[in-house]
């Protein structure tokens, strides 16, 4: 079995939130939103890293103190339990596995059934031709479009992109009869560090989907500070100003990016990433 159930809390129709670092986590927006939801929740299940990770690709971190090897931190995937606005929330987060995606996805589906999960919500983020000056758009997926709450709908037509482990999990969980939805926020392709606006957009979408209130803590202040920083950086570069203005006009005209354009941005993002790059580059 790919996972160990460490404890079984009393749960009432819990929702499972899924987000993994790596691909489909531009600016770490998906995983940061998941960590915000998990808060200090207790770990209820963990997955066997020896079955999931190539440690030459995702090397463990070794702490050496005064010449003594004292601690090794391994890449992991675990599930935490939180209660938000009286709703049981299970949050699966960690590093995207290198190996055994189908086995991993089957394990998640089994765990979801074991814990009586009512719905899976996948969180992620993708690079897109959108400006930081407008609200972060969200692309949605759903095993049934009627599951989506609020003024959202899945994109029309075919969108063919490189798969992520969270998407294989979504399909496996839907395959055992549990409803699934996915929210993938679009991050400006020129932003490479953390992007609080995207995190907030995901949290607000989850709140709408579940009909709950999610405490936002310091995120609003972080968003305002980051927005000012981006505005200052853009203001110092005439070419950047022109680019942002063009993006504003394009998004105002189109209302949303097309599937073809989104796929093109994703391909560029993957092409420009250095080999073995597991996540976004730090903003300079």
pLDDT digits (tens, 9 = 90+) for 188-229: 999 878 999 999 999 999 999 999 999 999 999 999 999 999
Q: Are 129 and 245 in contact (CB under 8 A)?
A: no
User: What pLDDT is attached to residue 268?
Assistant: 57
Please tell me the distance from the alpha carbon of residue 84 to that of residue 212, in angstroms, as a whole number.
Answer: 8
Assigned CATH topology for domain 3-272: Rossmann fold (3.40.50)
CA atoms within 13 A on the CB side of 176: 20
| Cα(83)–Cα(97) distance, integer angstroms | 27
pLDDT tens digits along 119-145: 999 999 999 999 999 999 999 999 998
Instruction: Round to whole Å and give the CA distance between 89 and 141.
Output: 20
Domain ranges (residues) in the chain: 3-272
Beta bridge partners of 5: 45
Q: Which residue has the tokens 């790059």?
A: 277
**CA–CA dist 184, 267 (Å, integer):** 16
* 61 sits in which H/E element: strand 61-65
């Amino acid at each position: 079995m790919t996972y160990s159930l460490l404890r079984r809390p009393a749960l009432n129709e819990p929702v499972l939130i899924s987000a993994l670092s790596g691909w489909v986590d531009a600016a770490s927006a998906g995983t940061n939103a998941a960590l915000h939801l998990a808060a200090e929740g207790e770990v209820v299940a963990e997955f066997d890293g020896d079955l999931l990770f190539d440690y030459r690709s995702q090397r463990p971190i070794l702490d050496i103190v005064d010449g003594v090897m004292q601690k090794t931190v391994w890449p992991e995937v675990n599930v935490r339990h939180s209660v938000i606005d009286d709703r049981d929330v299970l949050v699966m987060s960690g590093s995207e596995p290198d190996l055994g995606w189908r086995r991993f996805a089957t394990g998640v589906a089994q765990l979801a059934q074991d814990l009586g999960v009512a719905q899976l919500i996948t969180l992620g983020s993708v690079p897109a031709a959108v400006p930081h000056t407008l609200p972060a758009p969200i692309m949605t997926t759903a095993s049934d479009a009627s599951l989506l709450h609020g003024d959202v709908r899945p994109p029309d037509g075919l969108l063919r992109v490189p798969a992520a482990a969270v998407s294989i999990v979504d399909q496996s969980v839907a395959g055992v009869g549990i409803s699934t939805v996915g929210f993938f926020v679009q991050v400006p392709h020129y932003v490479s560090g953390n992007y609080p606006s995207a995190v907030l957009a995901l949290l607000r979408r989850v709140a709408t989907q579940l009909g709950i209130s999610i405490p936002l803590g310091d995120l609003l202040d972080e968003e305002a500070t980051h927005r000012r920083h981006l505005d200052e950086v853009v203001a110092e570069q005439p070419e950047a100003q022109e680019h942002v203005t063009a993006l504003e006009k394009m998004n105002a005209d189109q209302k949303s990016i097309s599937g073809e354009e989104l796929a093109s941005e994703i391909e560029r993002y993957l092409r420009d990433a250095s080999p073995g790059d597991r996540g976004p580059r730090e903003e300079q």
